[in-house]
Amino acid sequence: MADQTLENLSTEERRFEPPADLAADANVKEEAYDRAASDREAFWGEAAERLDWGQRWDQVLDWSNPPFAKWFVGGTLNAAVNCVDRHVDAGNGDKVALHWVGEPEDDTRDITYADLMDQVCRAANALTELGVQKGDRVAIYMPMIPEVVVAMLACARLGAPHTVVFGGFSADALASRVIDCGAKVILTADGGYRRGAPSALKPAVDEAVAKVAASGVESGVEHVVVVRRTGQDIAWDDTRDVWWHDVVDAASAEHDAPMHDSEHPLYVMYTSGTTGTPKGILHTTGGYLTGTSYTHWAVFDLKDDDVYWCTADVGWVTGHSYMVYGPLANGATQVMYEGTPDAPHKGRWWEIIAKYGVTIFYTAPTAIRTFMKWGDDIPAQHDLSSIRLLGSVGESINPEAYIWYRKNIGGDRTPIVDTWWQTETGQIMISPLPGVTAGKPGSAMKALPGISIDVVNDEAESVGNGNGGYLVIREPWPAMLRTLWGDDQRFIDTYWSRWDGLYFAGDGAKLDNDGDIWLLGRVDDVMNVSGHRLSTTEIESALVSHPKVAEAAVVGAADDMTGQAVCAFVILREAAGDGGPDIVEDLRKHVAKEIGAIAKPRQIMIVPELPKTRSGKIMRRLLKDVAEHREVGDVTTLADSTVMDLIKSKEGSSSED
Ligand code: ATP
Ligand code: MG
C-alpha cells in the first residue's frame, strides 16, 4: 500500500493483509482458532507437548477452586532442562543461544547452548554449596549480562524461585522486594555499563542488605554473589560476599536436574508500578513454560534460522517470558544488549541488527516514539533488510508510530505484532498472528487461540462490536498468575472480585465493527468530559498523528464546568524545533478534526520529557497531579525523578482556555 493512500485513509480503514508467502509458511494456521475454541484444554495439552516432561500430567486444568488454577496436574518437569539441556541433547549444542553485546564497543560474547549448559550446571552447583535449596527464594540484581540468564536458569534448575529486580532500581526498592519474598541470597555484579560509563550495583546491595537486617525479618540475606563486570572498587564483607567467578568456575559442570511439580513456583516478579505500588506476581512452572514457549513460537512465527532480539530488560516480565523462558525453551538464537540505544550514538540498535542479521525484533512504543523524535535519517544509515517481523509491547502503539515503525524499520514490508499482555498474564494474550491475521495500525487485533477475551460493561455483559468497555478474560490460561506472593486476599480483591468468574485486567478496550480489539488505556484514566467518555489512548494517538509531534500524554483534570477537562503534555519531534508560535492552537484544532470538538484539550503543555516508569510507560497519575495543581505523588518507580521538576517549571507557560 502506497504511503500517501495510507495517510489519507481513516484509522479504521488502514489495514495490512498478511503477505501470501508468509501465510503459506506460517507456524500457526487459521484453523487453530476454532480448534482451540472447541476444546481449550486439549489445545493447551497439545501445546504442553512442546516441552520435555519427567512425569506426564494426568489433568490439563484443575479449576475446581477458582481463582486458584492448577495446570498440568501431576506433571513434573525442569524449566532449565527445557531451556538448555534438551537442545544440547538433541545435537544443537553448537547453536548460538545468545549473541551478547556489551555497551562498550567490541565487547561481545557468543554463547552456545553447550556453553549455557556448562554455566547453568556450575551455577546450580555453586548455589547448592552456598546452601540454596528447593523452595528458597533468590534475588537477582544484575545488569544485562549473560550471567543474569545463567543465574535465573540455575535457580529454576534447583526449584529456588527467583525474583529479578531491575538493575536501575534503588537500594530501597531492592530491600522491599527481598523482604517481601524472603530471599536469603542475592546475585549481583559490581556494576554494569550504561550511557557510556560504568554504573555501580554492589553499593546498593550493601545498603539493601543492611535495610533487610534492620527490618527485623527472621532470616536476613546470608550470601551475596558478585559478578566482576566493570572492575570498579567495591566494599567487601568476607563473611557474606563471594565472587561469582570463584564459586561458579570452581564448581562441577555436571548437575543432575531434579524434576519439579508442574505447579512448583518458578519466580516472583513485581509489576511495573504504573498505576500504584508494585504487586508480587507468582508464576509457576508447567503452565508458564507452556504458555510462553507456545506464544513465542506462534506470535513471532519462529523458525530455526531466525535471529531474534527482544530489547526488554530482564528486570521486567517481557525479559522473563520473551528473552529467557519462551525463546530458550524454543532453542532460539537471540541478541542480548547491555546498554542504552544512544550509546555511543543514536544508531546503536540498528548497527547491532545489521551486524547479527536480526530477523525478528521486539520492542516498546516508548522506544519507537523516541526514534521518531530523533529522526528517520538515523535508521536509514543502516542495513535493516534482514528483519522480517516486528513486535511491540508495553503500551498501545499509536497508529502513527506503527506506520513509522513499519516503514522505517520494517522497510514497508514486515508485519507488526502488537502484543497485549501483563506481568499477571505471563504470556501474550492478544496479538495478530503473522500470515494469518491482518494488521491494523493501533489495534492488537484478536485474542490468541486458546485465550478467551471479552469487552464488557459495568454489568459484565459483552458490549459487542462497535462498542467499548472493560477488558476481561473469561477462561483460565496456562501462564496466568497463581496469586500475589503471600497475599491471596489481595489477589482475589484486585483481579477477581469486580465480577464473578471474570479476570479484570484494569484496561479499557473497544471492539471495532470487525470485532478487532483496540486497547484504550487504563480504566482509571478514562476521562469523563461533559458526560462523554474519552480514552487517553485515542487522544494521544490523535496528537501523535500531527507531523510535529513525537509523543503525547493525556490526562483528565477536574473542571468546574465539564466535570473533567482534557490536559495534554506533548513532546515535539526534533525537526520541528519549538513548533512555532501557533503550535498549541494548531494541535487543539488537529484533535478536534481527528476526534471531535469534545476531545479538544483545554490545556496543552509542550514539554521536553514525560514521566515514565523504568520500563518506559507513561505515568499519567503524576501528570494529573500537575494538571490539578497538586503536590506530585509517589515517584519511586519513576525512571528519572528530575523530569517532574522540568514539567512543573513549564507549568506557567502553557495555554489554557
Ligand atoms: P502496575 O500494575 O504495577 O500499575 P503495569 O500495569 O504497568 O504496572 P505491567 O504488567 O508491566 O505493569 O504492564 C501491563 C499493562 O501494560 C497492561 O495492563 C496494559 O495497560 C499495558 N500494555 C501492555 N501491552 C500493551 C499493548 N500491546 N497495548 C496496550 N497496552 C498494553
Ligand atoms: Mg498492571
Q: How confident is the model at residue 21 (pLDDT cuts 50, 70, 90)?
A: confident
On the question of pLDDT at 655 being above 70, the answer is no
Q: How confident is the model at residue 8 (pLDDT cuts 50, 70, 90)?
A: low
Residue 634: its pLDDT value, please? 78
Q: What residue has cell string 544440547?
A: 88
The tens digit of pLDDT for each residue in 92-123 reads 999 999 999 999 998 999 999 999 999 999 99
Mean of the pLDDT values across residues 563-576? 95
Q: What percent of the chain has pLDDT over 70?
A: 97
540 lines ligand 1 (CB under 6 A): no
> Which ligand is located closest to the Cα atom of residue 395?
1
Under 8 Å between Cβ of 430 and 18:
no
Q: What percent of the chain has pLDDT over 90?
A: 87
Mean of the pLDDT values across residues 33-51? 98
List, in sequence order, every residue forming a beta bridge with 555; answer none if it has no partner.
Answer: 567
Q: Name the grid cell of 182.
A: 524472603
E-state strands within 413-456: 416-419, 453-456
Residue 5: its pLDDT value, please? 52
- C-alpha 640 to ligand 1 mean position (Å): 19
> Which ligand is located closest to the Cα atom of residue 525?
1
363 lines ligand 1 (CB under 6 A): no
Residue 636's closest CA among 277, 139, 143? 277
Mean of the pLDDT values across residues 400-419? 96
432 lines ligand 1 (CB under 6 A): no
List, in sequence order, every residue forming a beta bridge with 189; answer none if it has no partner.
Answer: 227
Q: Whose CA is nearest to atom 30 of ligand 1?
A: 395
Under 8 Å between Cβ of 287 and 72:
yes
Which pTM does this prediction carry? 0.95
Q: Whose CA is nearest to atom 18 of ligand 1?
A: 422
- In single-letter form, the type of residue at position 359 comes to T
3-state secondary structure of 248: helix
Residue 83: its pLDDT value, please? 99
Residue 553: its pLDDT value, please? 97
- If you ran DSSP here, which 8-state letter would residue 576 be given? G
| Distance in angstroms (rounded) separating the CA atoms of residues 89 and 97 | 14
Residue 544: its pLDDT value, please? 96
E-state strands within 492-618: 503-511, 517-522, 527-529, 532-534, 549-559, 563-572, 603-606
| Distance in angstroms (rounded) separating the CA atoms of residues 107 and 72 | 42
320 lines ligand 1 (CB under 6 A): no
Q: Whose CA is nearest to atom 19 of ligand 1?
A: 395
| Distance in angstroms (rounded) separating the CA atoms of residues 87 and 617 | 36
Residue 396: its pLDDT value, please? 94
419 lines ligand 1 (CB under 6 A): yes
| Distance in angstroms (rounded) separating the CA atoms of residues 364 and 341 | 12
Mean pLDDT of the chain: 94
- C-alpha 555 to ligand 1 mean position (Å): 17
The preferred substitution site among 519, 540, 621, 634 for testing ligand 1, maximizing ligand atoms within 8 Å of CB, is 519
Residue 2: its pLDDT value, please? 38
439 lines ligand 1 (CB under 6 A): no
418 lines ligand 1 (CB under 6 A): yes
15-19, 323-327, 368-372, 651-655: least confident range: 651-655
| Distance in angstroms (rounded) separating the CA atoms of residues 93 and 9 | 50
- C-alpha 64 to ligand 2 mean position (Å): 26
Residue 1: its pLDDT value, please? 37
The tens digit of pLDDT for each residue in 172-203 reads 999 999 999 999 999 999 999 988 899 999 99
| Residue 615 Cα: closest atom of ligand 1 | 11
Query: Following DSSP, what letter does each residue of 130-169 receive, concatenated?
Result: TT--TT--EEEE--SSHHHHHHHHHHHHHT--EEE--TTS
Q: How many CA atoms lie within 13 A of 620 on its CB side?
A: 22
On the question of pLDDT at 23 being above 80, the answer is yes
Q: Whose CA is nearest to atom 15 of ligand 1?
A: 422
Question: What's the start-to-end Cα distance of the chain, in Å?
Answer: 41
- C-alpha 628 to ligand 2 mean position (Å): 24
On the question of pLDDT at 377 being above 80, the answer is yes
> Which ligand is located closest to the Cα atom of residue 280?
1
366 lines ligand 1 (CB under 6 A): no
Mean of the pLDDT values across residues 367-385? 97
494 lines ligand 1 (CB under 6 A): no
| Distance in angstroms (rounded) separating the CA atoms of residues 642 and 635 | 10
3-state secondary structure of 194: strand
Cα Rg of the chain (Å, integer): 24
Domain 530-656, CATH number (from 1.10.10.10, 3.40.50.1100, 3.90.380.10, 3.30.300.30): 3.30.300.30
The tens digit of pLDDT for each residue in 463-482 reads 999 999 999 999 999 999 99
- In single-letter form, the type of residue at position 410 comes to G
The tens digit of pLDDT for each residue in 504-522 reads 999 999 999 999 999 999 9
> Which ligand is located closest to the Cα atom of residue 275?
1
Q: How confident is the model at residue 645 (pLDDT cuts 50, 70, 90)?
A: confident
On the question of pLDDT at 656 being above 70, the answer is no
Mean of the pLDDT values across residues 45-49? 98
| Residue 505 Cα: closest atom of ligand 1 | 18
* More confidently predicted of 216 and 71: 71
394 lines ligand 1 (CB under 6 A): yes
Q: Whose CA is nearest to atom 17 of ligand 1?
A: 422
E-state strands within 428-526: 453-456, 468-473, 483-484, 503-511, 517-522
Residue 649: its pLDDT value, please? 80
The tens digit of pLDDT for each residue in 519-537 reads 999 999 999 998 899 999 9
- C-alpha 573 to ligand 2 mean position (Å): 29
Mean of the pLDDT values across residues 339-347? 95
| Residue 318 Cα: closest atom of ligand 1 | 11
Residue 3: its pLDDT value, please? 42
Q: How confident is the model at residue 4 (pLDDT cuts 50, 70, 90)?
A: very low
3-state secondary structure of 608: coil
The tens digit of pLDDT for each residue in 632-644 reads 887 777 888 788 8
Residue 25: its pLDDT value, please? 93
Residue 284: its pLDDT value, please? 98
535 lines ligand 1 (CB under 6 A): no
> Which ligand is located closest to the Cα atom of residue 481?
1
| Distance in angstroms (rounded) separating the CA atoms of residues 601 and 599 | 6
- C-alpha 589 to ligand 2 mean position (Å): 33
Q: How confident is the model at residue 432 (pLDDT cuts 50, 70, 90)?
A: very high
